[in-house]
Amino acid sequence: MTAEPSTQAIEALTFDLRGETFALEASLVREVLDLLPETGVPGAPPFVGAVINFRGRVIPLVDLRLAFDMDAAEPTIDSRIVVIEHELDGEPALIGLRADKVHEVTTIDRAVTEEVPRVGLRWRSDFIRLLARRDGDVIVIPDLEQIFAARGRSGASVTTLHTIQS
Q: Convert the pLDDT of each residue in 63-98 to its tens digit.
A: 999 999 899 889 999 999 999 999 988 899 999 999
The pLDDT of residue 103 is 96
The pLDDT of residue 109 is 93
The one-character DSSP state at 43 is: T
Residue 164 has pLDDT above 70, yes or no: no
The pLDDT of residue 41 is 92
How far is residue 152's CA from residue 49's CA, in Å, rounded to a whole number? 10
Q: What mean pLDDT do residues 155-161 have?
A: 43
For the ranges 82-91, 138-147, 153-162, which has the lowest average pLDDT?
153-162
pLDDT digits (tens, 9 = 90+) for 11-61: 999 999 999 999 999 999 999 999 999 999 998 888 898 999 999 999 999
| Three-class DSSP category at 9 | coil
The pLDDT of residue 2 is 43
Q: Let me know: does 24 contact 5? Beta carbons within 8 Å.
A: no
| Spatial CA neighbour of 60 closest among 130, 151, 142 | 151
How far is residue 72's CA from residue 117's CA, in Å, rounded to a whole number? 26
Q: What mean pLDDT do residues 102-116 have?
A: 92
pLDDT digits (tens, 9 = 90+) for 120-130: 667 888 899 99
Residue 40, C-beta contacts closer than 8 angstroms, at least 6 positions apart: 49, 50
How far is residue 44's CA from residue 31's CA, in Å, rounded to a whole number? 25
pLDDT band at 159 (very low <50, low <70, confident <90, very high): very low
List 80's β-bridge partners, or say none: 99
User: What are the helix (H) ranges across the chain?
Assistant: 64-67, 144-147
pLDDT digits (tens, 9 = 90+) for 20-31: 999 999 999 999
pTM of the predicted model, to two decimals?
0.84
